[in-house]
Amino acid sequence: MENAGNKQFANQKRQPKNVIELEKGRIPPQAVDFEEAVLGALLIDNSAINQVIDILSPESFYKEEHQLIFKTVKELFGDSQPVDILTVANLMRKNGDLSSVGGEYYLIELSQKVSSSAHSEFHARIIVQKHIQREMIRVASTIITSAFDESTDVFDLLDQAEQDLFEVAHGNIVKNYSSAHDLIKEAISKIEEISKQEGLSGIPSGFSKVDRVTSGWQPSDLVILAARPGMGKTAFVLSMARNIAVDHKRAVAVFSLEMSSVQLITRLISSETGLTSEKLRKGNLDDHEWQQLLTKVKNLERAPLFIDDTPAISVFDLRAKCRRLVAQHDVKMIIIDYLQLMTAGGKAGGNREQEISTISRSLKSIAKELNVPVIALSQLSRAVETRGGDKRPMLSDLRESGAIEQDADIVSFIYRPEYYDITEWADGSPSEGQAEFIIAKHRNGGLDNVRLRFQGAMAKFSDLEENEGLESMVLESKMNTGSFLDEDDDPYDEQPF
C-alpha cells in the first residue's frame, strides 16, 4: 500500500510538466466588451458613426459576428441610410448574415449594453490597438516561420517584413479587393476635389504648362525624365523640388547619387537668391549680395525638403528610406538622380540590362506602395549625338533597357537646341536661353512639348511667357534691319518696289 501511495504521489508530481493548464495558454489580444459597447452605441445613436467610421474597419473586430454587424453598419452609412436595430437587421437578413450573428435578439442585446455614445471614440481606439497587436503577432509569426526556412532569401524576407510592419503601422492592412460601389464613390469624391483645385489632381510642378498636360504629378506614377549629360536634368528637378517645397509647402525627398547634398543645396541657393553658382562657389560676394543671400535663403530653410546623397544606393535601401520619409515627414514626392547609378542589391543576376529592368520595376512598386509620384532621371544613349538634324531625343534613345519605357507612366525628355549650337526652333523663333520639356509617353493623358526658360548661370528652369518667343523674334528682326518702328508706324507705308 505504501508503494502504491508513493507511486501515485510521483505521478501527481510529474503531471504539471506534461499538462498545460488552460489559464496559462495564450489568447490573441482582444477587447470584446469594448466591441459590444461600440456596436451598441452605433445602434442607438447615429452620431456615434461619425466618431468611429474613420477609425475602425470590419477587420478591426475580433469576433466574426461583430465584423459582419459593423460591415452592415458601414454599408448603410455609405448609402446615407439611417442606422438602427431595424435597418441593420433588415439588411443583414437580405445578405443572409442575420442568423450568423444570433438574430435580432443579439442586436437588441448589444443596444442594451450602453446608455449613450459618449465614449465611442475612446472605445474604438482600444479596439484598434488590440487589432494592431494581433496583426503584429501575425506578421511576427510569418517572419519566424520564413526565417527557419533555409530556402528563403534573407533580403527578400527583410524587405517583406518591413513592408508588412509599415502597413500595420499605418492601419493599411492589405485588402484582397475593393467593391465597385466603394471605388465609384471614391472616384466621384476625387473628381469633386479636383474641380475645386483648378484641374490639378496631383502634385503641382510649378510649371504652368506642364501642369496643364499632366494635371500635376499623380500618386503612384513612375515618371522618367531623360536627357543627355549637360541638358539640365538635375537643374529641372531641383527647380521643381523648390517650387513644390517652397511655394506649395509639400514635402519632397531627393536621392542624389551623383552630386553631394551640399552641392545640390548650393545650386538651390543660387536659384533662390539669384546669385550665380560661380559667385557662391568662390564666396566672392559684395555686402549687398551677402544681405541678399541671408534674406532670400530663409524660405528655403523652412521648406520641407530632404536630400540623401548615398552613392550607389540599392533598391532595398531606397525602399526602406522612402517608407520612413513618408511615415515620419509625409513626403509627397520622391526624386532619384539618377537611375543608372542605382544597384539592384544582389536581386538581379545576369547583365546590366536585366539589372536596370529590376530597378525600374522596383521604382514603380515603390510609387504604388507609398502612393506618391516617383521621378527618376535617366541617361540617354549616344545615338542622339550621332544622329543628324536637330538631335531631338526619342523613346528608342532610352539607355540600357526597354523596360524603363514599359514600366514608366510618363516618359519625358529635356531638350535644349542651344546645346548643339542650334540658334532657332523649327518655327524660326530664337532658342537662346530656352529648353523644351517633351512628354513622349503619357499613360493617362496627352502628349505635348512645353517650352521653358533656362538660366544656366543659376541652373534654374522657369515658365516661358506666352509672348516671350514672339517678342524675341520681333526684337531680332528690328536689330537686323537697323530700324525700330513705333507702335503707330506702318511698315507697308513705303513700298520698296
d(CA 351, CA 363): 19
CA neighbor of 131 nearest in space, from 70, 60, 63, 64 = 60
The total of other beta-carbon atoms located within 10 Å of residue 472's CB is 16
Burial of 321 (0-12, 13-18, 19+ CB in 10 A): middle
Query: Prior bond to 415 cis, omega within 30?
Result: no
The total of other beta-carbon atoms located within 10 Å of residue 156's CB is 12
Is the sign of the CA dihedral 156, 161, 162, 166 positive or negative?
positive
Is the sign of the CA dihedral 103, 104, 105, 108 positive or negative?
positive
Contacts of 202 (CB under 8 A, 6+ apart): 214, 215, 216, 217, 218, 219, 221, 373
Which listed residue (104, 121, 162, 258) is catalytic?
258
Q: What does residue 28 show for φ and ψ, rounded to 5 degrees?
A: -55, 145
CA neighbor of 204 nearest in space, from 250, 269, 238 = 250
Looking up cell 510592419 gives 165
258 is catalytic: yes
d(CA 254, CA 260): 11
d(CA 435, CA 454): 6
Is the sign of the CA dihedral 160, 165, 170, 173 positive or negative?
positive
In the three-class reduction of DSSP (H, G, I as helix; E, B as strand; rest coil), residue 308 is classed as strand
In the DSSP assignment, the letter for residue 424 is: B
In the DSSP assignment, the letter for residue 21 is: -
d(CA 214, CA 333): 15
d(CA 436, CA 305): 26
- What does the H/E/C string look like for 71-139? HHHHHHHHCCCCCCHHHHHHHHHHHCCCHHHCHHHHHHHHHCCCCCCCCHHHHHHHHHHHHHHHHHHHH
- Annotated active-site positions, please? 258
